[in-house]
Amino acid sequence: MGLMNGEKSMTERSTDTFVVDFPESFGNARFDPQYIREAVAAVTYYNGTVSEKEACHLANTTRRQFEEVILPKFGLSVTGGTDEDASIEIEDV
């Protein structure tokens, strides 16, 4: 499947850097960069902002690891969280 007009492949996409300012109440708290990458990957995938492939790339993990470990770590599932998705999961049981 080719790229649509104006789309860039994953290797051509630029990377964005963002800074998060935490309140002073966080003190000198340290955050694991990998944990933050996984959280951003999981949430943006779940919201439909990025594909699973892009999320796996961001989280630096395999598809299986992403689906079985990372998404559940953040209380998310591959199927999403709509009522329709829940109905499908229940019917499959």
What digits encode the pLDDT tens for the residues 42-87? 999 999 899 999 999 999 999 999 999 999 999 998 876 555 655 6
Residue 43 contacts by C-beta under 8 Å, 6 or more apart in sequence? Answer: 74, 76
Q: Is residue 76 part of a domain?
A: yes
Q: Is residue 74 part of a domain?
A: yes
Contact 74, 43 (CB under 8 A): yes
- pLDDT classification of 14: cutoffs 50, 70, 90: low
Give the residue numbers spanning the domain of 82: 31-91
Q: Is the pTM of this model over 0.85?
A: no
The mean pLDDT value for 27-47 works out to 89
Q: Is residue 7 part of a domain?
A: no
The proportion of the chain whose per-residue pLDDT surpasses 90, expressed as a percent, equals 43
Q: Is residue 86 part of a domain?
A: yes
Structurally, the chain folds into a number of domains equal to 1
Q: Is residue 12 part of a domain?
A: no
